[in-house]
Amino acid sequence: MALIDLEDPAFTHIADALAEMKNAGIELDESSVAAAIKLGRHRVSQKNTRVRLPKAREQGDGAGIVYYIRRGAVIKIGTTAQPAKRFATLLPDEVLGFEPGDRALEQERHRQFAHLRVGLTEHFRITPALLEHAQALRMLHGEPDPAWPTLGTLQRPKGRKSLPSPPAPSSPELVTAAEGAHQCGIARNTVQGWAHRSLLQPVGKNDRGMPLYFLDHVLHFAVYSRAHRRTRRTV
């Protein structure tokens, strides 16, 4: 994984190529990872797609922001130029704070709080230091816009089918059901249940033949399932 640049515009295609190789029984060594990188970049050039930050945000001075949102027991540090649209997709429990900035500042914050990072994701463990940092940003840049979507402003439907499909992973980190459950603070049989219902799709197997899943996808369902249980308790 050290060979893969997470900021590569072809990252999603590279991750897809790696998953295809694992499914085909190809050992992921240095040469095969290099081949996946070339294949991913080739697919990007064929489709003529480029990953770019949006040029404008809905409100403010037209620049992007680095945001701090709580999702269950973790805080996600990300960047966007369209916070209302981005949060409608992520549906955080709450927006803790934000600061003007772009990808460079986001990466600086990731390095600053690297000791709290959950795997290779953009999620970080909650600590007093990180919460104090978000509080300082609110004092410096103001409170988050109350119009930005959060779980508290969304009426979620009842039933098990309310869990939405996960977005493309932002990290190539793969975990077993047990490992994903441990990192996300949930029961292993919960993760296995998502896999049984085909909500969580395996992308390969480890050396012991255990199915592997994107950690981002496990975390996605963990966040939404917590929100669903909370909604049911209030009905």
Instruction: Return all residues near 42 (Cβ < 8 A) that are at least 6 apart.
Output: none
pLDDT digits (tens, 9 = 90+) for 182-195: 888 888 888 887 88
CA dihedral 133, 137, 139, 140 (to 10 degrees): 130
Q: Which two tokens stand for residue 27?
A: 């050992």
pLDDT over 90 (residue 37): no
- pTM, two decimal places: 0.47
Cβ contact 181:190 at 8 Å:
yes
Domains of the chain: 11-47 (no CATH), 65-153 (no CATH), 160-234 (1.10.1660.10)
The pLDDT of residue 23 is: 75
pLDDT digits (tens, 9 = 90+) for 62-81: 579 999 999 888 999 999 99
- What gap in Å lies between CA 208 and CA 210, rounded to an integer? 6
Q: Are strands 65-71 and 74-80 parallel, antiparallel or unpaired?
A: antiparallel
